[in-house]
Structure formats: structure tokens, C-alpha cells
Amino acid sequence: NLEKIIRDKLGFKNKIEFNNHHHCHLASTFYPSGFNRSLIVSYDGLGEYETGLIGIGQKDKIKIIYNKNVFPDSLGLIYSAITYFLGWKAFYDEGIIMGLAPYGDPNLKVPNSKKSYIQIFREIIQYKNGLSYKINPEWITYNYEKNTWLSEKFSKTFGLKRNYNSKINKHHKNIAAALQTRIEEIVIQQLKYLKKKYKINKLCIAGGVGLNCSLNGKIQSSKLFKEIFIQPASGDSGLSYGAGLVTMMKLKKFNTNLKRRSFYLGSRFTNKEIKKVLLKYKNKIDYTVESNISKKSSEIIAKGNILGWFQGAAEFGPRALGNRSILCKPFPSKMRDHMNKNVKFRENFRPFAPSILNNFAKDFFELEQESQHMLIATKVKSNKKKYIPATVHVDNSCRVQTVHEETNKKFFDLINNFYKITNVPVVLNTSFNVKGQPIVNDPEDAILCFLKYNIDYLAIGDFIVKKLNK
């Protein structure tokens, strides 16, 4: 009914084009990468029937070289199945499992079994050869019945599904670790095969699995490629962009030099529009106008306050890239615990991202390229961990965002001013929302979130806002 709905709602009478799901993913990451030639991979739950697609991009063309990974053999669906089993929401909370994985050990023996967690996951997710993998049907039921996910064999091996509110134990952590390890093994094996066969030194990544920054970090640290690029809306929200690009490519109506490293493309508001909303809440807030909002905000953060930061145009994709963010200083380590428990109301093991001035990234991290979209996890250098402990995960990794003056001057200036005060060129950056809620999108969203939760100050446009009861 989709075509009929579009015609009825929009009164559109011309041709409507339907583009392949994974082809749209490939286009959404290759064209903005700026690479002249690149391998392109897409992994997610399910497109039409493909669960992934591999191609080569060259100038304005994408050539599909492998499309044989199809339902139910899906890295995305098995990740969602384990997310469900561990007590979280499938198609939504997969990032939590990624954050939990470093706390587990995949090489330990499964209780009442002679095999380790990773050995069993190698039985569940089987690497066949070259570019082929298979999900062993003995372990799953999602191929027969929607939302059932895993088989009786899985339950007999690993026990009952965890309830959301029950304790997370070592067993759950080991399952997460084995899943993450096996996904990394499969993808790295595929990429080694591709690199050997095609000898292309750039890689573009898309699809929901492309949001797995731990996996992306393993790819980056493998040094298989000179540079990798992940489009920030790597999941299905980025298909809108990819579908437009595929059609424009067919019509030959765009400039092939589409390099776009700035994805600040969403809603934006003038000071006049912001002030109108501030006046609506004048009995609950006080505000001042600042001539240098970045400098004032850096001073607020340096004093240990939590700052809501609402500036410019909203980011494309699920990561807060410095325009719809909650910010604080990256030290001491208890800042992370305070942010998780009292501000974001989420699991205590979940990490936060360090946003760093791009020219300092190689000093702090084992990172050989830019990471503007917060989608590459990398190790912190041992002599720098003490400066940013609130952003370092249990395995000494960080989900880094490199901040560039030319793509986000206000945010760059804030971090640069913070550096002048503290001698640390990093701030802790998390999305401007609380667990289970979308990122704030307009001034009223921002003010309501600020008023309801434990955020000390709000920097919105050129205004610094504080609560009247503070």
C-alpha cells in the first residue's frame, strides 16, 4: 500500500522509484566519504531479503560485488536476538550490549558445558568462506516466527532470558563478550579477504552494524585500510539520504565531489525564536545574554557543572556531535558515575565519549585518522588516561569524536577555551536527552529537559539559562 499512501497523502502523480535497501546504505556512505575509490560494506538486520551488501565505489559508480548474505543469515538480527535475550529491547538497545561486552570474558566455560562462550558462538555464527557466513538454524527461531528470536537449544545452553530489572551477572557479560567477539571475527575475516582480492586501501561502512564503534575500532586498528569512513546516520535513518543519492546518480544530476564531513543538517533556531520560548518559562528560569557563549560555557564546565548545550543545526544520526549535547569535564572518574546515575538515568557500566580538539587526537589516542562522527572506539594512551578518566571504558577504549574548527566552530571554541583553563583539550559529551527519550530537537524540548533533570546550566543560542531555585 505504500505507493497508494504516498499518492493519496501528497497528491503525487508522477513516477515513484523504489531503490534497494542496501544499495541505499552503500550510496549513503560512499558519496559523502570523498574517496575516489573504496570498498563499501553494509551490514544490518534485513533489507528486502539481503542482510548485507558489498560493493566497490569509483567516482560516481557503485558496483555490487557480493549480495549472497540473505535472511536469516544476519549479523544484525543475531545481535538483536541476543539483545532481547539479555533483557533489553531489540532494534533499539544493541549499543548497550556493545558497552557491556568489555566486562565479560568470551573464553570462559559456559556453566554445565565443556565449551567456552566463544566456541558456542562460533557454532551459532559460522564463517563459511570468503564473504559467506551462516546463522546456525538450530539456535534461532526468528526465521520462523517474529519476535521469538532464540530456540529451546539456546535456552538449554544459556538459561532463561534475563528480565530487564534483574541483576546483570558475569554470565550475561560473557554472552555479550562472545557475541561482540564473534561479530568482529566474521567482519575482519571478510575484510581481509576483500583487501587481498581487490587491493583497495579505503573502506566505507553503513548499515545498523556500522554503528558498532567497537567493531569499527577493531577495523581501524587492524591497519587493513589507510582510512575508513562511517556515515553518522549509518542505520536505517540514513536510508533517506542514500535513496536520494541513488536516484540522483541514475539521473546523473549531482556533482560527484560530494565530500561532506559536516552532518549538521537538522532543525536550527534564531536567538529571537529562542528568546520567545525563554519568556514563556520566565517564572522558572533566569537567563543572561553572552557575547561569547563558548567561552562562558567552558568556564561553567571547568567548575564541575553539567551543561546542556543547544547550538546551531541538529546532527544527522543518533550521536550527539556537539550541537544537541550534555557536556561536563572528563575528570575525575566519578563524573561518569554522576552522569549515568543522576543525569541520564541509565546503566552504570555505559561509557561516555571524549570530544577532543582534532590536532590533539593522536597525542591522546591510538587513532591514525579523524573520527568526526563518534563511531570509532580506540585505546587511550596510558600516559593520558589520568586526564580523561570519566570517558575511558573498562577496556581502556574511548568512543572518540575529533572536533574540527571548520565543521563546528562554536563547539571547537568551547573545547579550546576549556583547554586554556584546564590544560585538557577534551570534554565529556553525551546526547541531550535521558534514557528512553529522543534527543531534544527544539528550544522547548531543551528547556523542559533542562528543568526536569539534573542539568545545572543550559547554553542555548547566545543565552545562558539557570533554574530560579538554584
pLDDT by position in tens, the chain (length 470): 889 999 999 999 998 989 999 999 999 999 999 999 999 999 999 999 999 999 999 988 999 999 999 999 999 999 999 999 999 998 888 999 999 999 999 999 999 999 999 999 999 999 988 899 999 999 999 999 988 899 999 999 999 999 999 999 999 999 999 999 999 999 999 999 999 999 999 999 999 999 999 999 999 999 999 999 999 999 999 999 999 999 988 888 766 566 776 899 899 999 999 999 999 999 999 999 999 999 999 999 999 999 999 999 999 999 999 999 999 999 999 999 999 898 888 888 888 999 999 999 999 999 999 999 999 999 999 999 999 999 999 999 999 999 999 999 999 999 999 999 999 999 999 999 988 889 999 999 999 999 999 999 999 999 999 999 75
Whole-angstrom distance, CA of residue 390 vs CA of residue 248: 44
Say what the pTM is. Answer: 0.93
Q: Which residues have C-beta within 8 Å of that of residue 46, sequence separation ≥ 6? A: 71, 74, 76, 77
Whole-angstrom distance, CA of residue 205 vs CA of residue 305: 37
Cα-flanking dihedrals φ and ψ of residue 354, to 5°?
Answer: -90, 125
Whole-angstrom distance, CA of residue 152 vs CA of residue 327: 45
Q: How many CB atoms lie within 10 A of CB 288?
A: 10
Whole-angstrom distance, CA of residue 291 vs CA of residue 312: 16
pLDDT for the residue numbered 259: 72
pLDDT for the residue numbered 147: 80
Query: What is the number of helices (H) and of strands (E) in the chain?
Result: 15, 16
